[in-house]
Amino acid sequence: MRLQLQTWGEVERYLETFTTAIMPIGSTEQHGPNGLIGTDAVTSEEIAYAVGELTNTMVAPTISVGMAQHHMAFKGSMTLRPSTMISVIGDYVDSLAHHGFERFYFINGHGGNSATIEAAFQEIYTAHTMHGSGNEPSVRCTLRNWWTGSEMRPLIKKLFGDKDGMHATISEVSVTQHLFPEQIKDGTMGPPEPFKSRWTDAADYRAKFPDGRIGSHPDLATPEAGKQVFDLAVKQIAEEVAAFGEK
């Protein structure tokens, strides 16, 4: 149930019964030699659409550019400043809260977004507390990274062993191959650079990880593995969205 494909009257009728919105959020950044630049945005978006269909929950427009300054040494990457991203998230939530939405379930596709998203939640809560009435916040926000969960890590381990890595992972590239089989790229590459230390800015990241990967072997990605990962993510998150809407 996509907000963008509804009329205002349909949204009004939805809000008579439900007040939850699913908020897909990702990033536009390099994903190694064979990963799509939009991986983090399109995976969270497609998972959100599938969860929305299963749970009859409204899905808001995707926030597709996130915190990716450390990827900016690779062509095509885009980033928001932390303060800009906090403002964007706040405006998304406040716009929908204005109409009566109360619960916001963020499905995130980029680990680098997490700290800023949580900071945005605190800004939202603080604004509602300071300008509202009573002791209860008028909105609830929660963050879910789609690749986590009690069942997901064992599945990724079973499928890929210890080769999934930290960035441009086999699992996320596999999901994009499942979703967009016509966009599968040549996966020829050697082993990744060994992980030595964390990074600071974009130049430091590029120096440490010249082809963009962090410990991953995305040449092992397959659409079949991607379907397993995608289906499990949708199943787990759909259960959580249903429970979130009942609290």
The pLDDT tens digits of the residues spanning 85-97 come to 999 999 999 999 9
**What type of residue is 227?**
K
Residue 98 has pLDDT above 90, yes or no: yes
pTM of structure:
0.96
78 neighbors 30 (Cβ within 8 angstroms) = no
Terminal Cα-to-Cα distance of the chain (whole angstroms): 21
Q: What is the CATH number of domain 3-246?
A: 3.40.50.10310
Adjacent-strand bridge partners of 141: 104
Amino acid identity at 147: W
**Short-list 91, 26, 114, CA closest to 65:** 26
Distance of CA 85 to CAs 29, 121, 179, 185, Å? 15, 11, 27, 30
Q: What band does 216 get if pLDDT is binned at 50, 70 and 90?
A: very high
